[in-house]
Structure 1
Amino acid sequence: MTLCDDIRLQELTTAIAANNGDEIAHVDRALADFPDDPRLHFLRGSLLAGIGRPIEALSALKAAVALAPDFAIARFQLGFFQLTSGEAGDALSTWGPLALLPDGHYLRIFVAGLTYLIRDEFAAAIEQLRLGIATNEENLPLNGDMQLMIDRISELTVGDAADETMSATSLLLGQFSGRPH
């Protein structure tokens, strides 16, 4: 497996940060040269999710995990994407190997919180997501996504805010469908 070199990867992230509307084209050019680089597939999937192209995003995230099963953040984000797309069972299956991360690892804590959410155990979900945020110093943008989850859980579970015919989880996940992760 030939990986994109660090200089080109840095140039790519700089070009993406410029936000000129051609971010996917930049990643696609890099992928043409390095088709087996899971980081590029992950980056492509993240960008596609952010612009509302979920089918392509799912395919790219799956490719990243297939190429590098131990690429923990890609595995987490694939599962998060599946969860927010209404595929809780797939998310749990995708996240399974993350249980092998060390105790206290922020991704493992986030998975625990999201698993509680799937089971409509909202207080425990919020507690674990907050703990994950407090623990995560590696991927700060992910903390923002988890805080949004906490905020939505809180909004949907206050008083009678949750519709009786649909769980608060279903309502919450509908809010995240197609948004960038």
Structure 2
Amino acid sequence: MTLLSDARMQEVVDAVAASDDADLAIVDRGLTEAPDDPRLHFLRGSVLAGIGRPIEALASLKQAVALAPDFTIARFQLGFFQLTSGEAAEALSTWGPLALLPEDHYLRLFVGGLTYLIRDEFVPAVADLRRGMAANVENPPLNRDIQLIVDRVIDIPAPVAATTEASSATSLLLGQFGSGRVH
């Protein structure tokens, strides 16, 4: 497996952060140098999700996880993308290995909270999501996304939260996050 050097990878990340519209081209140039670098596939998936190309984003995120099954943030984000695309069973399957992380690891807590959310168990969902945010010092942008979910859960009106119809509160909530935004 050919990886970009850490310095070169930082150059790519910095260039993507500074770019207004050439993000994908920057990442693709990096992939010509290191076509099996899972970090680049993850970054490509993030860029594609951000520009509204979900099918390609999903393929890139899957490639990142296939290349590096222990790349935990890529695995979490792939599952999150699947969940926000309405594929809860696939998300749970993708997240399965994250259950091996320490109990207080932020990704494990986020997965726990999102799993409760899938089951419309809002109180433990919010508790785990908040615990995950408190534990997460590695990825502050992810905390902002999780906070948006917590805010939505807290704002769900009681009659909607209590629904048992086909259109559950979770499906209504996830409909708000279908953009596939990845951090």
- Is TM more than 0.5 here? yes
Tell me if 1:69 matches 2:69. yes
Shift of 1:96: 0.2
Superposition map of 1:72-151 within 5 A: 72-151=72-151
Paired residues in the alignment total: 180
Q: Deviation string for 1:127-172 (max 9, x for gaps)?
A: 100010011111111101100010111122x333459541110001
Shift of 1:119: 0.4
Equivalent-residue separation in structure 1 for 2:174 and 2:24 (angstroms): 26
Q: Any unmatched runs of 5+ in structure 1?
A: none
Shift of 1:20: 2.5
Partner of 1:34: 34
Equivalent-residue separation in structure 1 for 2:40 and 2:16 (angstroms): 12
Partner of 1:160: 159
Tell me if 1:176 matches 2:169. no
The 8 Å contact of residues 54 and 180 in structure 2, kept in 1 or not, is answered as no
The 8 Å contact of residues 155 and 161 in structure 1, kept in 2 or not, is answered as no
Give 4+ residue runs of structure 1 displaced > 2 Å after superposition.
158-165
TM-score by length of 1: 0.96
Equivalent-residue separation in structure 1 for 2:145 and 2:139 (angstroms): 11
TM-score by length of 2: 0.95
Further displaced range: 4-13 or 144-153 = 4-13
RMSD: 1.3
Q: Deviation string for 1:28-50 (max 9, x for gaps)?
A: 01101101100000000011111
Q: Deviation string for 1:96-131 (max 9, x for gaps)?
A: 000111120000000000000000001110010001
Equivalent-residue separation in structure 2 for 1:95 and 1:162 (angstroms): 25
